[in-house]
Amino acid sequence: MKKVLIIFLAIALAAVALFIFRSDDSVRQLREHQDFNVILITVDTLRADRLGCYGFIPDLTPAMNKMAASGVRFENCIAQTPLTLPSHTTILTGTLPIHHGVRDNGGFVVSPRLETMAESFKAAGYRTAAFVSAYVLDSKWGLNQGFDYYFDRFDLGRFEKISLGEVQRRAEETIDEALTWLEKNKSQKFFAWIHLYDPHTPYEPPEPFKSQYPDRPYLGEIAYTDSQLARFWNYLEKEKLLDNLFLVLASDHGESLGEHGETTHGFFVYQEAIHVPLIFVTPFEKFKGKTYSGVVTLADMMPTVLEMIGLNIPPEVQGRSLLPYFDGRKKAEDRMAYSETFYPRYHYGWSELRSLQNNRYKLILAPVPELYDLKSDPDEQKNLVYIEKKVYEQLTRLAEEFEKKAGEKAIEADFASVDEETREKLAALGYLGSFVDPARLSGKKLADPKDKINIFNEISRARETGMAGHFEEAISALRKILEDDPTISDGFFALGNLYFKARKFQEAVEAFTRSLELKPDDSFAVINVANCYAALNKLDLAEQFILEQVKRGFDDPQFYHVLGTLYALRGNYEKALPYFGECLKKNPRSASAHNAIAAICLNRDDLAGAEEHLRAAQELNPTLLNLRYNLAQLRERQNRIPEAMELYRQEIADSPSHYKALFNLARLYRLQHREQEELETLQRALQANPDFPLTYFYLARIYLRRGERYQEAIGLVKKGLELKPDRENLPLGYFLLADLYNRLGDYAASEQYANKGRQLVNSSR
């Protein structure tokens, strides 16, 4: 008994020490007043025990191993949550989810009250840049605070799969962008964050890694990521940037890979999902090849980095500097590490999970609590709650004290900061997230996720089947699951999304309505019901349904934006404008509503009104989708052509599939007789949207002007005609065919199409 008390006295002291910093002079002395740069690399979904430097065989990670050999490796780093946005919020603010309030992906926005690592560096005169590889870290969620340059630019229009996790880019593209920035800024003081997403599902490694790991694609993704890190490291060596650089490598969370029944991550807080690599590389010889075996956390990264540089640590930071452990001589201290996942609660209505652990014991707070001795049972197979009852009771009390202290000045989560246009796009993607206030879930008796893992896996498999286009199979599987357990709101949401993709809109309405009954404050479900009615061409029912939600007390500015958009798309501006106005009344910071009103003003030739609302939108959100497109149209009408062209280019840079911006830019190239640039831009427009008829016409027109590829041009025009252009542009197609057949010497066909064109022109007069 005495031994147990000693152990937990150490834990109690460690819990208090979480909020105490101890300065370390060793790095300060080695710096000798020299400025050092910092690069932070986070590899998403990378569990520690899959790296060679953490003991994995076969060795997939020579580049990461080299970093470990060049620096300090922490053997037992614990992530505070197995979810990307909350975990990176902890990394960049040094605070726990209990404090920063970001508990899930998609429905949360990082509070501007938090001071990020980037803000600390920027205040100290550093250039700051971030390069992120997944939409879950898009600037919309608030982690761009303090960055001079934030490379996100994710175009939601290019993605039609039903998972937000699909919206990502490969490591090669992200590293390319980072290298471009470094080349321009390497002579300045800089802080850069590089986020790589490849080990996240879906596992689709490129060759040769796909062939090297045919049955273990997760390993293939890790090996590919390591190859890109090797390329990055080689650049740093070649440019001699390592001489005054601190480089940090970590992961935000791990991956379960079937252990404890979980195939991916987010659902449980077992070690496979929260034990992550953490490596600090410095130029100093005394810190090379060192290790520390005690428990540390991702919350410790920010204070460690700031102390390495000599910057002040913000008072709200809850992690602590790890510099005292850098020389490898300090024995492992007994600290307490906190982790949580609210994913089961927000997405399925089951209980959240929280865990606390030290160097030996781990407690998981759940409806059926769990206690593991990680020394004798590192795989967490034997629950000691009923065997080590006193240990469990003492650790539970300490956990309560820990959470109370950590949450004393907690920040309220911000649920309304994401613009309405983004919400609508996420709903259309079928993103299984919610903007629900978590306080509304408190006080309910919720199921233990351990008892629901099979259902979770079945829903995940059904969703993946639907993503592959096998809608009927996926629908059948989901319906069977929901017959057995009709309380899963996100199950009905997923079913509704599958019906929508299969164009069974009435069935989708019923599924989304059931989802809303189970989660009455899920705005995504409301939006999708309205979208279903719109797809059925029943706009009156869409309007009626949303207004019924408002009448029952569920009032959301987004609903008015949806209605305004549905009417505006059909040219009914008289109905659309009041709804956009109501959206602004409910949310005066809605850049989307200002932008939508500006678009209507443009269609009505009200240039002054368009200017007013575009300026307001620009002040609120200068990178809002379609804002620069609308501003470009305004500048065109004001005959400010160079400005218009630059605005179109900016819109295209952020949204590569914006075919209207591409087409309009091509038109301006045509007016300036820049034919080759027009051709290249039209080809990009065609790739972005093969169903827009005018692109085919103007591509054919270029071939006609050049006197080449007549048969191909004829095929292009006929394809454009098949797509049924509006009556105003239809004559152009026939006149193009007339000219092309005339060039080929087929005068009968030429006259036939010329007559069709003339008839259309005459009938429209």
- Using CA atoms, how far residue 227 sits from 101, 216, 232, 450, 609, in Å, is 35, 17, 9, 37, 53
303 part of a folded domain: yes
N- to C-terminal Cα separation, the chain: 99
Res 165 pLDDT > 90: no
Neighbours of 467 (CB within 10 A): 18
- Strand 290-297 and strand 71-78: pairing? parallel
Residues 684-725 have pLDDT tens digits of 999 999 999 999 999 999 999 999 999 999 999 999 999 999
- Rounded distance, CA 509 to CA 532, Å? 6
Residue 152 or residue 467, greater confidence: 152
- Using CA atoms, how far residue 752 sits from 75, 692, 737, 756, 757, in Å, is 79, 25, 9, 7, 9
Q: In the structure, what pLDDT confidence band is assigned to residue 2 with cuts at 50, 70 and 90? A: very low
User: Please, which residues have CB within 8 angstroms of residue 650's CB and are 6 or more apart in sequence?
Assistant: 628
636 part of a folded domain: no
- Strand 71-78 and strand 275-281: pairing? antiparallel
- Rounded distance, CA 283 to CA 30, Å? 10
Per-residue pLDDT, 556 = 86
Strand order in the sheet with 370-373: 337-341, 353-357, 361-365, 370-373
Res 16 pLDDT > 90: no
| 57-73 burial code (b ≥16 CB/10 A, e <16) | eeebbebbbbbbebbbb
Q: Hey, what amino acid is at 142?
A: G
Per-residue pLDDT, 162 = 44
SS3 (DSSP) at 40: strand
Q: What percent of the chain has pLDDT over 70?
A: 91
Q: Hey, what amino acid is at 150?
A: Y
Per-residue pLDDT, 721 = 96
Per-residue pLDDT, 51 = 97
Residues 118, 193: contact at Cβ < 8 Å?
yes
The phi, psi pair for 534, rounded to 5°, reads: -65, -40
Which of 178, 134, 160 has the alpha carbon at shortest distance from 44?
A: 134
SS3 (DSSP) at 710: helix
- Rounded distance, CA 69 to CA 325, Å? 16
Residue 11 or residue 371, greater confidence: 371
DSSP state for residue 440 in the 8-state scheme: G
Per-residue pLDDT, 477 = 94
Residues 29, 416: contact at Cβ < 8 Å?
no
Residues 291-331 have pLDDT tens digits of 999 999 999 999 999 999 999 999 999 999 999 999 888 88
Overall average pLDDT of the 445-462 stretch: 89
694 part of a folded domain: no
Per-residue pLDDT, 439 = 53
Res 4 pLDDT > 60: no
- Rounded distance, CA 318 to CA 95, Å? 5
Which of 325, 245, 221 has the alpha carbon at shortest distance from 70?
A: 245
Residues 65-88 have pLDDT tens digits of 999 999 999 999 999 999 999 999
Q: What CATH number should be reported for the domain holding residue 111?
A: 3.40.720.10
Average pLDDT, the chain: 90
84 part of a folded domain: yes
Res 631 pLDDT > 90: yes
- Rounded distance, CA 629 to CA 343, Å? 37
756 part of a folded domain: no
Res 12 pLDDT > 50: no
The model's pTM is 0.81
Q: How many Å separate Cα 12 from the centre of its chain?
A: 37
Per-residue pLDDT, 7 = 46
Q: In the structure, what pLDDT confidence band is assigned to residue 496 with cuts at 50, 70 and 90? A: very high
SS3 (DSSP) at 407: coil
Residues 218-275 have pLDDT tens digits of 999 999 999 999 999 999 999 999 999 999 999 999 999 999 999 999 999 999 999 9
User: Which long-range contacts link 2-6 to residues 24+ away (Cβ below 8 Å)?
Assistant: 4/390, 4/391, 4/394
Helix axes 693-706, 730-744, angle to 10 degrees: 30
Residues 718-738 have pLDDT tens digits of 999 999 999 899 999 999 999
DSSP letters along 136-184, please? GGSGGGSTTTT-SEEE----GGG--SS-GGG-B--HHHHHHHHHHHHHH
Residue 181 or residue 8, greater confidence: 181
599 part of a folded domain: no
User: Please, which residues have CB within 8 angstroms of residue 58's CB and are 6 or more apart in sequence?
Assistant: none
Per-residue pLDDT, 91 = 98
Res 211 pLDDT > 60: yes
Residues 130, 119: contact at Cβ < 8 Å?
no
Q: Hey, what amino acid is at 740?
A: L
What is the domain count for the chain?
Answer: 1
- Rounded distance, CA 440 to CA 553, Å? 15
Q: What angle do CA 682, 685, 686 make, to 5 degrees?
A: 90
Q: What angle do CA 449, 453, 456 make, to 5 degrees?
A: 105
Residues 90, 298: contact at Cβ < 8 Å?
yes
- For 95, the domain range is 36-330
726 part of a folded domain: no
Per-residue pLDDT, 339 = 97
User: Please, which residues have CB within 8 angstroms of residue 203's CB and are 6 or more apart in sequence?
Assistant: 217, 218, 220, 221
3-state secondary structure 327-348: CCCCCCCCCCEEEEECHHHHHH
Overall average pLDDT of the 197-223 stretch: 95
Residue 163 or residue 521, greater confidence: 521
Res 20 pLDDT > 50: no
234 part of a folded domain: yes
Overall average pLDDT of the 38-50 stretch: 97
Res 414 pLDDT > 70: no
Q: In the structure, what pLDDT confidence band is assigned to residue 30 with cuts at 50, 70 and 90? A: confident
Res 416 pLDDT > 70: no
Residues 651-672 have pLDDT tens digits of 998 888 899 999 999 999 999 9
- Rounded distance, CA 711 to CA 113, Å? 63
- Rounded distance, CA 352 to CA 343, Å? 7
Residues 560-578 have pLDDT tens digits of 999 999 899 889 999 999 9
